Amino acid sequence: MKLTLPKPIVTERHDTIVQVRTVVDTVTVAKTRPRLPLSLYALATVSAHDNGPSYGVFFAMMRRHGFFVHASTDFGSIGTTRGSCSKDGSIGGAAEKPYYSGNTAKSHYTVTAGAVHRLTRNLSLFEGIGYGRSAVAWQLAESEGGGYMQNNGLTHKGVAGEAGALLSFGRIAVSASAVTIAGKQWQGSLGVGIKLWRDKNEK
């Protein structure tokens, strides 16, 4: 910011008259942004997707900008599989599909990390990438020898992406985000937690 200030200079002096002219001095004043307090958030999250709910933890640290980490899982496992099948259950392009028992095994997890940006005192936005895998296996009928076949049409893995918002009210924090695995599997995530510390002057 620049301030323009008039500066008087006396050029002539007489007994009763003083002649004055002015010059302009330019004063530069540095404008600085206030340093925001360091904040640390910890939240428990729940996510909804095709394979059911997943549960996770979300951590974020920032001043005006910072970083976050979010890990989520359904604690499931498809175990050892005999092979794989297509989305409709057929194997190797065969015209006839084997019989299945109707039982399924599922496994789902995502891990993402990235940047978080404080827009206002209470609102921040975040976005990041990571890795995820969502797997489904179908159990063959006893007449087919039993065991599980991984359903490749319902199984997705690869780069995971996440984007969302973080709101804080005093020490209470909530989050909402969308997560995708390779752009093929999507889930919504909600979180509730606390701000672990805050500046004593922060309202």
- Tens-digit pLDDT profile for the chain (203 aa)? 555 555 555 555 555 555 555 555 555 545 566 667 789 999 999 999 988 899 999 999 999 999 999 999 999 999 999 999 999 999 987 778 999 999 999 999 999 999 999 999 899 999 999 999 999 999 999 999 999 999 999 999 999 999 999 999 989 999 999 999 999 999 999 999 999 865 555 55
Hey, is 142 helix, strand or coil?
helix
Q: Which helix (H) or strand (E) holds 123?
A: strand 123-140
* 16: three-class secondary structure by DSSP: coil
Asked if the structure places residue 11 within a domain, the reply is no
Q: Classify residue 81: in a domain, yes or no.
A: yes
- Enter the pTM of the model: 0.77
In a domain, 94, yes or no: yes
Residue 60, in any domain of the structure: yes
Q: What domain count does the chain have? A: 1
Q: Is 144 helix (H, G, I), strand (E, B) or coil?
A: helix
CA 180/CA 158 separation, integer angstroms: 10
Q: How far is CA 5 from CA 11, 19, 51, 104, in A?
A: 19, 19, 70, 79
Domain contains 20 = no
Is the CB of residue 151 less than 8 Å from the CB of residue 134?
A: no
Give the list of residues 6+ apart from residue 92 with CB closer than 8 angstroms, or none: none
Q: Which contacts of 90-97 are long-range, i.e. CB under 8 A and separated by 24 or more positions?
A: 91/149
12 inside domain: no
> The tokens of 47 are what?
């996510």
Residue 19 lies in a domain: no
For residue 113, the domain's CATH number is 2.40.160.20
In a domain, 4, yes or no: no
Q: Range of 46's domain?
A: 34-197
Q: Note the pLDDT of residue 200.
A: 56
Separation in Å, CA 149 to CA 83, 106, 144: 5, 12, 11
State how far the Cα of 165 lies from the Cα of 126, in Å rounded to an integer.
6
